[in-house]
Structures are given as C-alpha cells and as structure tokens.
A and B are shown apart, each in its own frame.
Chain A
Amino acid sequence: MKYELVAGFETHIELATKTKIFCGCTTQFGGEPNTHCCPVCIGLPGTLPKLNRQVVRYGIMAGLATHGEIAEISKMDRKNYCYPDLSKAYQISQLYAPLTIGGYVELSSGKKIRLHHIHIEEDAGKLIHQHGDTYVDYNRGGVPLIEIVSEPDIRSIDEAREYVEKLQQVMRYIGISDCKMQEGSMRCDVNISVRPAGSEKLGTRTEIKNMNSINNICKAMEYEFERQVDLIESGGQVVQETLRYDDATNTTSSMRSKEDAHDYRYFRDPDLVTIHVTKDEVEEIKASLPELPTEKCKRYVDELSIPEKDAQLLTKYRNISEYFDKACKGVKSPKTVSNFIIGQIFSRVETESDKEIFDVAVSPEQLNELVKLLDSGKIRNNLAKATLEKMLDSGKGALEFISESDMGGLDENAMLELCRQAVESNAKAVEDYKNGKEKAIKALVGFVMKNSRGKADAAAAEAKIKDLIG
C-alpha cells in the first residue's frame, strides 16, 4: 500500500528585540552564565512582568507577513509546568487569545500551507547536565519568542523543507529574527502522521523535537515516516508521543517519562493586562513592512521580465533584492542588471551566508551608473563586462576605467576614414569578398572595431564598407 505523509509545524522564533519580553535585561547571545538576569527573569518571589512593546509589534509583523488576521484583543496566559529551566514554574504564553489568527505560507507550487495562529511567549533558561548534576543558566530565560503553528497541510519532505525555508526567508526579510537554527533562534517541532494514500482520515501523530537544521528536520521526518509505515504494515499502532531526534544515529526516541504528567493548566495571567491592537496600528505596521519575497518575485517576473529562476535568486535574501532594486532605478533593461548580479557579482559572493549579508565592493549606485552607460549606447557590452570586473576588484566607479574617448559613437567622418583604411590595407579580404566569400567582410569590420577601440557600431561599419567596395 502507498502511504501519505501528513505533517504540521510548530516553529519557535526568537525575536531580535534588544531586551527580554518582561524585563529590561539584554537578549544578547552568549555572556557569562546568569549575567543577563534580574529579579524578574529569575522569578524571585514578588516580582512582576511588564510586556515589551516591541514584542507585540514584531508579533504583528510576523502575522501580517504571513497573511494572518491580527486579533483586536489578545491576552497572556500561564502555561504551568515545573522544570528547573523555568524560573517561575510557568511560561507566560498565549493560548486562549493569541496575537494573530490564521494566515498561510505560499510554496513555489502555489500551494498554501495554512497557519493556525501565531502567539508570543518567553523562552526558558538553559540546563547543562554533567555527571548527573544539573547546572542552570537563566540568560536565555525570558527572551521573547513567537510560535508559529501551522495546520497539518504538509504532504512531503520537499514541502516541509520549503515551508521552513520560506518562513525563515520572510521572517528575516521583515527583520524580526535572524532565524539561525544552529544557534537556536529558530526551532521546529514537527507533528507527523501517516495514512493510506487517498484516505481522508488523519492517523495518530507523533511530535519530533530537537532538530537543529533544515537537513535534520528532513532526515528526522523521513525516518519517522518510514518508522510509522513499518509499524502499521507489521500490524502495530502508532502511539501519540513526543520524540527526540538524535542526529548522530539519525533515529527518534521517546521523550516520555513518568515524571512529566502533562497538563499545563493554562489560565489567564493575572499579572498582565489585555493587549488591544487598533485597526490604525495594524495599518501603520503594514505600511512599514518591506515588500515581501513572494510578492517581490512575482513583480520581477511580471513587470521587469526577469526569468522566474533568476527572480527567485534575486529575492532569496532581502539584501540582494534591495541591491537589485537600487541598481535598477531608471535603467532600460533590469534584465541586464540581474545578469550582472547573478553572473559576475555572485561569482565573488559564493556562500549562502555571504549572499545573505551581500557586502559587495561595487555599490548598487555604481552598478546603476555602469548599466546606464550601456543603456545609452555610450559603451558596449564587452567593455561593460570588463569594467565591472575592474570595479569589483577596486571598489571604484565605472568612470575610473572608461575614458571620454571610449564613449560615444564615432562621428560620420571618422567612421568613413576608418572604413577607407580598412579597405585600403586589406586588399586580400576585399578580393575574397568580391569573389563571393561573404564572411570576408568580417575581417574588414574587425579592423574598424579594433581601430576605433570598440566604439564603432559594427552593423553601421559593415554597411559602409559594402558601399565602399561597391
């Protein structure tokens, strides 16, 4: 029997605020243990939380960037569970009234992975287990997170990969998180189940945690898909449980223990008040958002006639697309700009992380200037290419390498003079042409081009030479 994979994601993203969600401690990564802490984030008795305004704003931005609806009224709840990394024995989160509802992430196929909601919450501290002893560091405790909860709309590993990449891309675009999976600023839990292909009924799902890269997510899902299929095929039943992925062995194992009775007893946090977002605020935030990658990509294809594949490369990172947008300003052919970026510039910015930063020696304004010289016919393509190389080497502008005399076409007289010289000094080629060897004319045109240092218009030269030969 053929089986179908059904998966949904719960994605935690650390927000790039300066301070924690409920106190003024820094969110800076690293630092000596327990040095980014205060009475509030270590949960000293009597302390009270105060919500960071920026967390709400970033949450709304995330909701808008994924086409969600921003709740007019949302509230903070307590999720109660006692664990040493949680200084208050509850995590302040949202359950009953989250900040944003619905929305979707659109894959390149056009398929929409629906979102259930996005909520804001606090991160826990860090535990280090050593020889059975537990060391606790609360520097990360209270760092703001959003949790993006999808519907179980994902049907393949490829879709899962693209979903995570798209989320990462869009959250980076709007600047609310660096989404680094290795550093834990983006973390995914996957709910996964299988069912016979064509069936409508959902199977029993498991939840996989602890994957620190997109590749690991895909590997873990593959493993878990096969494990569930094998189990069902051999007459067994999938048990609903939480699994931990181990990338060393590429297996999943149960995280359940008798000590973890899971009943979070959510209730409204009485220490925090209602969040009320007006339509005007939503409109203001919407207007402040940059153009998002999917829309940008569509615009490049539809309005700038960039091939789809190239448009995707240009929009993968916000810095590249912004570079492209600036370099395109007022040019006749955006495609030329795109070709320069994807060709010559990309060959010098090879790694993905360099592409994301996109710190290029040539500024978009300089590239713009070069392309405009080309557009106006003042220089030819070959010269432009060579010049760009020199610009990339030096960081200097195009005019540093192109002299006045390189620019502009030849005037009529100079052109006529050069053509005459070509005919006079290439008797053999003239002879050949007259004897019907069409190609021989190329040598004559080449003479003109060479002696005009590329400034002559080849087609015009050819016509003139033909005239002269008769």
Chain B
Amino acid sequence: MGTIAKIHEMLVSKQCSCAELTKSYLDEIEKSNGELNAYVNVTGDEALKTAEKVDKKIASGEEIGMLEGVPMTLKDNLSTKGVETTCCSKILTGYKPIYNATVWDILQSQNSVMLGKTNMDEFAMGSSCETSYFGGATNPFNTKHVSGGSSGGVASAVGANIAAYGLGSDTGGSIRQPASFCGIVGLKPTYGSVSRYGLIAYASSLDQIGPITKSVEDASIVFDAISKYDDKDSTSKGFSGDTYSSLNNDIKGMKIGIAREYLDGVRDDVKEAVLNAAEVYKSLGAEIVYFDLPALKFALPVYYIIACAEASSNLGRYDGIRYGYKTEHYNGTHDMICRTRSEGFGEEVKRRILLGTYVLSAGYYDAYYKKAQNLRGTIVKAFNEAFTHCDVILAPTVPMTAFEMGRAVSDPIETYLTDICTVPVNIAGLPGVSVPCGFNAKGMPIGMQLIGKSFGEAEILNAAYKYQQAAGENFKDTKWGVKL
C-alpha cells in the first residue's frame, strides 16, 4: 500500500487524528530540517488549522477524499496565497502572492495539509539544489550528498518522510533527477496535462508541475487529482480519464524500447541497474526492443538554448518595483533596476539570463534560437517515430548517482551534462517517470526513467507499478522522519 492510502486508512479508521499526524510530521521536520535543509518555510499553524478541519469532518461522520488531511509540501516556486513564495532567490524575498497556483487551489480545496514550502535551485536553475539562496537540501541517504535539483527540497522531504508527498516542477529533469537521487518516484507529466498557472516560470514551453512520491500508486493518485483542464492556462489540455484504474494492468506483450543513445556516457553501475530492470520486465512478459534515436545528440544544447532564451524573458520582470527585493542605494530608475537584479539574482541565474539574451539578440537569433526550435521539431518527430516501435521507452534518469555537495558549482557545463537523459522528454513535451531501480556500491539510489507517448501517463505508471511490485527492494525508507 502506498503512503497516501495508508494515511487515508489511518485517518478513516481513527488510528490517529489528522492533527496528531500533522504534529508528528512537524516534529520530525523540526528534528531533521537542520541537516536536510529541505524546507525553507514551515507553515505549521496553517497545517494544524487544516488538520483540525479534517478531524471535525471525520468526527461528524463525513466521508473524506483520498488526499484529504494528507501532510504534503510544495516546491517554493508554486504560488501560495499569503504564504511567502521565493523560488529560493534573494530577489523574491518577502513576496507573498495574492493568488494561488491552480494546483494548490485544487489540493487546498481537498483539505490537503501543507506543511511548508520546500527548497530548490534558484528559479529552478540547477541540478543539485545548491544554487538556492538558502543553501542546498541534502540527500536523506547521505547528507554529504546533494538531493538533486532543482526540486531538491521536495525530494529530500519525501525521501526523508517529512512529507507524505510533494509537488515539484520539471523543466529539464527537475522532478525526475532529484527523485532518482533520493530513491523515490517522480512524475513529469505531459506538457499541458497539469496547469502551469501560478508556477513561477523558468522556461514556459518546458515547465510542467508533477508529483514526487514514495510509491508509484501515490504518484498516480496525485497526478489524477491535479491533471485538470484549467481555463487560466492557454496551453492547458488536462488529462482525460485516470491512471489509477489501470495501474495493475497486465503488461504481457508491452513493448519496452531502449534507445542506445540513452546509454552513452552513462556510468556502469547505473547502466547495469537499468539493464537489470529490463530483465525484470522480460520476466513480466514484456518485450524489450532496441533502437536508435540519433536526434538525442542535440537535445542538451537545444534545451539550454530554448530554456535560457525563455528564462531571460521570464525573469525580466524582477525589477524591484512591484514585489520582492529592492536595492538600498541607487541613482535613478535604471540604476535601481540594474542594482536590484545584480544583487538579487545568483550567479547561475545571471549566467542563464545572459546566455538567453545572447541567443535572442540581433545577429544570433537565427543561428541559435531559431535553429534550436527547428531541432526541437526534429526531436519531437524522432520520438513519434520511436513510438511506432515500442509502447514505452526505458532509460536511465541520470547518468550517475547523487554526487557530493559542492561539486556542481565549479563547472557549469559538466553540471549541464547531468541533465542529458532528462531534457529530451521536456523538449518533446512527453511524460516521464523516474522509479528507483537499485543502489550503487556506496548505497546511493539509482533511478530509471519510463518515457511515454504524449498523454501516455497511464501506460508508464502501469509499467512503473508492475516494476515496483516485482522489485520492491529498490524502494527503501531512510532513517529519517515519520514512521507510519
């Protein structure tokens, strides 16, 4: 049984009250957050208020929904009315949104108990959570290691059982990569299935909100709840049907594809774990097919060009006038804006803004931005073609396991390479789920990725669930957090 279902049963059967449960989560946060640095803002009072509401409902004999009363967390780039939302950037310190992100509207209306906002790379730009203005979240398996990024805080909190689940955002791997590093499940949904309204944009054409959970069934439950059409988001389509009812479908005859390019440059321990997973699938009656996907070679530069271009535009609005940080000393409006931005943004964010400005500027637009857009079309087409050979694609999530804190900061390009297996999914707008598939010699988790067709969430979650059932030993608890 997944964490969410377990909590639901505990509440319904009155094994504990929602307030007691919430308190124990808050206590564990108190104990561990110093070392994990997963939460940047704990909202205990609000959490307890909601918990009491849920308890009243239960006491009065009313039925409660599956997510009702379940203690959870949101990445700090999801807008929460009245609750500070900073993207872990100095430039948004003190900013309290006056509206809710649509996903939070949905979950709040179901009495979700939000424990607080979690750590992330500044504006979701990073792969280790270390570009956060508040310092990086650490890995529950070994706190000398990074949690991954950018949704490192959510992954750390869920991995450490100080949140039952959380929502992150994924622009180039920011849900899947930290989920993989922290030994848990992370689903990046199809572009358009979850509303982006209220998600503070990094790269609008790539960003997508999704669940980070302990188990595949939890990911399915949360995805089914949040994947609604939203008329506030012009790119929203919503997800028709659900994924939960087909989780346990037989996968006999399912064609699982492995693109050789995905295994290039991947560390041996990771490759081995992924190929072992392929064996598990074979034993479940699935068919493994190998194929080539040469377009993947260009995915990483295409991703960085498009993401940075969009980011340079999305981040122009932080000017010290309407919200957030404003510099103390300046001489005129232009000077105020430049100082505010130079002081308010961290180095990685500035680097990406500059790169994005460069590739859009006169004389370079055609060679970089336009060319990258064309290649994006090529990559979309290549995936469509690939899905004529197979139903889902199996790949590593990250070419490596969680590295030690401090390593990512030194070389930007080396750091960018950690995203090589995750970015293609964002470029093509496809769904991808990272599932734990083993541990390396040092006991750090390894994740594999199942990639589906557009709006093929039901298929990849079905395949992931079947794997979880067959290889449950890869889903491990850590020493931290609430023991249910």
Contacts and interface: CB of A to CB of B under 8 A. Distances in A.
Interface of A: 39, 42-51, 78, 80, 82, 84, 87-90, 132, 134, 136, 259, 263, 265-268, 270-273
Nearest to A269: B204
Contact of A82 (B98, B205, B316): B316
Contact of A88 (B97, B309, B312, B316): B316
Contacts of A88: 316-317
B235 interface: yes
Contacts of A51: 234
A39 B357 contact: no
Which 6 pairs show the lowest CB-CB distances between chains A and B? A89-B316, A270-B205, A265-B360, A270-B204, A45-B200, A46-B198
Interface in B228-270: 231-235
Contacts of A78: 313
A271 B98 contact: no
B354 interface: no
Nearest to B337: A82
B334 interface: yes
B209 to A, nearest CB: 11
A82 B360 CA distance: 15
Contact of B199 (A46, A259, A273): A46
A42 B312 CA distance: 19
B310 interface: yes
B273 interface: no
A15 to B, nearest CB: 19
B197 A80 contact: no
Nearest to A133: B333
Contacts of A89: 313, 316-317, 319
Contacts of A271: 204, 234-235
Q: Looking at chain B's contact residues, is the secondary structure mostly helix, strand, loop, or mixed? A: loop
B321 to A, nearest CB: 6
A338 B321 CA distance: 58
B232 A48 contact: yes
A253 to B, nearest CB: 19
B418 interface: no
A87 B234 contact: no
Nearest to B323: A44
A268 B313 CA distance: 11
B313 A80 contact: yes
A79 to B, nearest CB: 10
Interface of B: 77-79, 85, 87, 92, 95, 97-99, 101, 196-201, 203-205, 231-235, 309-310, 312-313, 316-317, 319, 321-323, 332-334, 337, 357, 360-362, 365, 369, 373
A84 B199 contact: no
B411 to A, nearest CB: 28
B317 A39 contact: no
Nearest to A260: B334
A45 B201 contact: yes
Contact of B98 (A39, A49, A84, A272): A39
A84 B333 contact: yes
Given A44-B98, A90-B313, A273-B235, A82 B319 contact: yes
A39 B201 CA distance: 14
B334 A48 contact: no
A43 B312 CA distance: 15
Contacts of A49: 234
Of B79, B197, B313, the most chain A CB neighbours within 10 A belong to: B313
Nearest to A134: B333
Given A50-B234, A88-B317, A270 B199 contact: no
A48 B232 CA distance: 7
A88 B204 CA distance: 14
A45 B197 contact: no
Given A45-B92, A80-B360, A84-B333, A273 B317 contact: no
Contacts of B319: 82, 84, 89
Contact of A43 (B77, B87, B235, B322): B322
Contacts of A80: 312-313, 316, 360
Nearest to A85: B321
Given A50-B234, A271-B234, A42 B313 contact: no
Nearest to B362: A263
Contacts of B360: 80, 265-267
A136 B322 CA distance: 9
B321 A84 contact: yes
A48 B205 contact: no
A82 B316 CA distance: 7
A389 B403 CA distance: 95
Contacts of B232: 48, 50
A40 to B, nearest CB: 9
B394 to A, nearest CB: 29
A265 B309 CA distance: 9
A87 B316 CA distance: 9
Given A267-B369, A270-B204, A271-B234, A44 B313 contact: no
Contacts of A43: 317, 322
28 contacts: A39-B99, A44-B323, A45-B85, A45-B92, A45-B97, A46-B78, A46-B198, A48-B234, A49-B234, A80-B312, A82-B319, A84-B321, A87-B317, A89-B316, A89-B319, A90-B313, A90-B316, A132-B332, A259-B334, A263-B361, A265-B357, A265-B360, A265-B362, A266-B360, A267-B310, A267-B365, A271-B234, A273-B234
Contact of B97 (A44, A48, A259, A267): A44
A137 to B, nearest CB: 12
Nearest to B78: A46
A259 B333 CA distance: 10
Nearest to B98: A39
A89 B101 CA distance: 22
Contacts of B313: 78, 80, 89-90, 265, 267
Nearest to B370: A267
B316 A50 contact: no
B197 A47 contact: yes
